[in-house]
Structure 1
Amino acid sequence: MNISNSLRRTPLAGTVIAALLAAAPLCAQAPAGPSKNPDDFLAEPPKPPSIKGDFTLVAIGDMLYSHPMAHSADPKLQEVITKVRDADFAVSNQEGVFIDLETFDGTGYGLGQLWGEGRLANDMKAMGLDLVSVANNHSTDFGSEGLLQSMRLLDAAGIGHAGGGRSLAEARRAGFVDTPNGRIAMVATASTVKENARANDAFGGLNARAGISTLRLRKVNIVSPSQFAAIRKLASDRASPREPAPAATAKEIEFGKEIYRAGSGDPVIYEMDLFDHADLLKSVRAAKAASDLTIFTIHAHESPTGLDDDTPAPPNFLKTLFHDVVDAGADVVVGGGPHSLRGIEIYKGRPIFHGIGVFFIRGEIKATQEAAFRVFPDPATGRAPPPVPEPESVRPGGNPASWYDSMLAEVDYRDGRARRVRVYPLDVGNTRDRSRRGIPHLADPETARRILENLRKWSADLGTRVRIEGETGIIDIE
């Protein structure tokens, strides 16, 4: 990335975006009003990508940090940042919000809030980021006020953003950035969210509510026939007028706020809300009509086990959603959330990163009073005891070691067509040393080989071949 190109990239104003999207044609089969049928937005193929000339897109993982790092004296971090800056365009997920606590007039929600300094928008710009998602499970830790302030700071820094807004329609809408090679669009959403994070449109006399674009899911536990029979008996034994016993022919049972179904395969599956599914495809199709390259990203902590863990296999709904968004017009798909890596898939010539990991994991959590009061007070002082030393990440109570394996992915385009993916393994500092921990470095040969061997295996499971050349993974796109 050169300085002159960087200076020429300018996010479009929200009103201009709204006008463009209002005028952008959808496929002929798309209904005039809201649809609950995703197929309405897949009836016709989208236009091909039209980004001009040789163009390199960089995608990195979650920007989960609280204090500026762009000008760090760490030479190995600067080596990674240089790769971001040298790209023609760079995208990421801004995890959480950044606000000045001394002047912020909102408040925090929940037991702990992920917080970042207000200077982080300019810091991300200095690292070379051009377009970010603001839709994740920490987007509203400081309410809609914190989200909107972060979006204003991104605007002021010249970074495009997607996934948040003053209404659901605005949060669904793509963010756009113009470059010398063409216009880039991003549609962003999250399936793992906190209560009241979802944006709402004005309805029934109520004002719109600021928030993020969300994909609602219905979680279904898959159990064996004998387990299903036991759950049926327990639900029948505990039945009441408000929660009647399941019918003898019921194929699905809701009990204890969980849904159970007899079957095999993944222990947990997720069913997408049809309106959200269709609405996201509508947004992708509209973004493609108004751009030369369209990116889709989702923050999803769900896994096939039902736990927020580092399972390398993606959950069922992401496999469906990712193919659908490509069919609707997405040229690149970036999945994130569980902070660990998953495989890479090439679908119809479009790269899908099922799990891109983190870039930084140095977030500062601000605890609320209610969080402090949950800690039993020290009998000698009547106050909460001092915190114990932070454990090693690989020890019980610490972060999983897999969170510290990551990647920087480059996608090379020539005249609109993706030609090659290059993967650079990152070591994000799995150490007690706080000056190093959570900071990305290019992985040493041994660590790089381990990360790439894992990616090669997981990508093969998705039908994609990754070849390893030194400390780099290569995917040639036919």
Structure 2
Amino acid sequence: MVPVESSIYSTEEQVHEFDTVGSTATNVADGFTMAAVGDLLYARPVTKGHYPGLRDVLRIFNGADVTFGNLETNILDFESNGCPQAEYGGAYLIGSPELARDLRAMGFNLVSRANNHTLDWGVEGMRETTRLLDRSGIAHAGAGENLAQARAARFLETPRGRVALVSFAATFEPMARACDPAGEAPGRPGLSAIRLTKSIVVPAKMLDSLRQVREILPWYAPPPDDPSRVVINEVIFKSGKKAGYSYDPNPRDMDEIIRNVRRGKQLSDFCLATNHGHEPEECIPEPPDYEQRFARMTIDAGADVYLNHGPHHVRGIEIYKGRPIFYGLGNFFNQDLRTPVGADMYEAHGKDPRLDSDADVTAHEMAVGYPMAEGFVPLSASLYYESIISVARYEKNRLAELRLHPIELRRSERLANRGVPRLAPESQGRAVLERVRKLSEPFGTSIVIEDGVGLIRLQTN
């Protein structure tokens, strides 16, 4: 053993070295810029197509060190890789093999993979997507050959600092969840999941009535130890002031994700944590009750930004300890060119593949939506075709400015052409930004609108 007095380091140097390992500070060169969008519901290449206004959108990415999006599709040649699974994320999302090169041509260099469509085309489809992204030089995280690989941070080298990405999903298909080896059993390929236990919140009087219902059912068993809830057929009810939904994250999943965020930041200069979650319900403007606490935990662990890209429409923005939390960035692509479509989806929508086309199935799917207090909201609603591009600029290792560019996705065009972004017209763009501004107010975030762009300015001194 080397005597303490012979160490080449002083006590102060040893402490500084230890503290550096655990540092959560941002460490990028001045002018570091991150462009972030939401979901890439993307099927066909666009950079060589006829989409007036697309180039104006892509110019926003110019000069960005990181351009991020959630890849909510599989990239593969279905004739040689993968097949539609019996369990899928509501639609069989697939894109042509050229998409990876097309993404790179647009400027994307970092994408998340964990979402409810990761295994729509099986493990083969997941692996082929990985291969094509790797070949195109796009860093990605959230899917892997086992849970450790799916959980792990992945890295992107930029001239102003190394960037880490940790990707996970709260909304996912059960069979898509990756797992680690156990004894002789091998690990399972899939995505990094954060499991949620869902409860339905009802008024106290209604809970008493549900308790009576439970007691008269023939499978009645002694009530649970927790008197604040009632469980009927594995559905959990609990009382609260406002009816709605409540979520409890799996503690082990939380711990593992936080550990990987911490590890990602230890090995990088800038870290993104991204969650794909549709909760509490797809068209509800507020985030689920668990998410603010969990988002803040990722930032406390070292994340420089937290992004949720699941609800497919914009939600509010919070600035926590000088770092942004995006509760919903909306869709950047919403292409409805879902082809081929698996037989299960034809059956689910009452269509016959001998008579109907893939587009007929998609049209029926887009007419399906969500009943809300203010009326029925179909998937074809303008809500899902309006969103923002966020551009964050850093000075002195602090967020100096956040710019929000409103876009719209050609909702009025025919099926073959819609879902591709262009800058929103002035009145529509202002409406989108006003929506984000209003939804951000409960988080104490102030957004001003100047020249058609939303601005969040922070002090860097």
User: If the length of structure 2 is used for normalisation, what is the TM-score?
Assistant: 0.87
Partner of 2:29: 52
Partner of 1:401: 382
Letter in 2 for 1:187: V
Contact 1:223 1:263 in 2 (8 A): yes
Contact 2:43 2:73 in 1 (8 A): no
Corresponding residue to 1:426 among 381, 403, 407: 407
Letter in 2 for 1:353: F
Partner of 1:262: 239
Q: CA deviation at 1:61?
A: 1.4
Contact 2:84 2:92 in 1 (8 A): no
Partner of 2:321: 348
Partner of 1:9: none
Partner of 1:210: 189
Structure 1: distance between partners of 2:305 and 2:256: 18
The question of 1:133 aligning with 2:107 is answered no
Letter in 2 for 1:74: Y
Partner of 1:318: 291
CA distance change for structure 1 residues 396 and 298 in 2, over 3 Å: closer, same or farther? closer
Structure 2: distance between partners of 1:195 and 1:347: 32
Structure 2: distance between partners of 1:171 and 1:105: 19
Q: CA deviation at 1:71?
A: 2.5
Structure 1: distance between partners of 2:395 and 2:130: 32
Give unpaired runs (5+ residues) of structure 2.
1-16, 370-375
Contact 2:345 2:361 in 1 (8 A): no
More displaced stretch, 163-172 vs 231-240: 231-240
Partner of 2:249: 272
Structure 2: distance between partners of 1:226 and 1:178: 57
- Within 5 Å, which residues of 2 pair with 1:45-444? 46-110=23-87, 112-240=91-219, 243-246=220-223, 250-265=227-242, 267-303=244-280, 307-309=281-283, 311-365=284-338, 366-373=340-347, 383-384=354-355, 387=360, 390=363, 397-444=378-425
Letter in 2 for 1:461: P
Contact 2:336 2:362 in 1 (8 A): no
Partner of 2:14: none
Q: CA deviation at 1:54?
A: 1.1
CA distance change for structure 1 residues 397 and 287 in 2, over 3 Å: closer, same or farther? closer
More displaced stretch, 391-400 vs 167-176: 391-400
Q: CA deviation at 1:156?
A: 0.5
Partner of 1:20: none
Structure 2: distance between partners of 1:396 and 1:49: 41
More displaced stretch, 247-256 vs 69-78: 247-256
Structure 1: distance between partners of 2:184 and 2:147: 16
CA distance change for structure 1 residues 454 and 372 in 2, over 3 Å: closer, same or farther? closer
1:3-50, Cα deviation, whole Å (9 max, x unpaired): xxxxxxxxxxxxxxxxxxxxxxxx999xxxxxxxxxxxxxx9743110
How many residue pairs align between the two structures?
429
CA distance change for structure 1 residues 404 and 105 in 2, over 3 Å: closer, same or farther? closer
Structure 2: distance between partners of 1:313 and 1:86: 32
CA distance change for structure 1 residues 215 and 375 in 2, over 3 Å: closer, same or farther? closer
Identity level (%): 33
SS in 1 for 2:174: coil
Structure 1: distance between partners of 2:416 and 2:349: 28
CA distance change for structure 1 residues 469 and 377 in 2, over 3 Å: closer, same or farther? closer
Structure 1: distance between partners of 2:294 and 2:192: 15
Structure 2: distance between partners of 1:377 and 1:343: 38
Contact 1:110 1:368 in 2 (8 A): no
SS in 2 for 1:346: strand
CA distance change for structure 1 residues 374 and 384 in 2, over 3 Å: closer, same or farther? farther
* RMSD (CA atoms): 2.5
CA distance change for structure 1 residues 205 and 345 in 2, over 3 Å: closer, same or farther? same
Structure 2: distance between partners of 1:166 and 1:429: 37
Q: CA deviation at 1:109?
A: 3.3
Structure 1: distance between partners of 2:349 and 2:30: 58
Partner of 2:372: none
Contact 2:171 2:278 in 1 (8 A): yes
The question of 1:458 aligning with 2:431 is answered no
Structure 2: distance between partners of 1:74 and 1:427: 13
1:403-427, Cα deviation, whole Å (9 max, x unpaired): 1110000000123211010000011
User: If the length of structure 1 is used for normalisation, what is the TM-score?
Assistant: 0.84
Q: CA deviation at 1:88?
A: 2.2
Partner of 1:469: 450
SS in 2 for 1:261: strand
Structure 1: distance between partners of 2:184 and 2:225: 44
Contact 1:375 1:384 in 2 (8 A): no
Structure 2: distance between partners of 1:275 and 1:169: 13
SS in 2 for 1:341: coil
Contact 2:67 2:108 in 1 (8 A): yes
Structure 1: distance between partners of 2:441 and 2:362: 41
CA distance change for structure 1 residues 396 and 390 in 2, over 3 Å: closer, same or farther? farther
Structure 2: distance between partners of 1:176 and 1:124: 18
Give unpaired runs (5+ residues) of structure 1.
1-26, 30-43
1:319-371, Cα deviation, whole Å (9 max, x unpaired): 11111111110001111111000011110000111100010000433332344
Contact 1:360 1:440 in 2 (8 A): yes
Contact 2:404 2:455 in 1 (8 A): yes
Partner of 1:446: 427
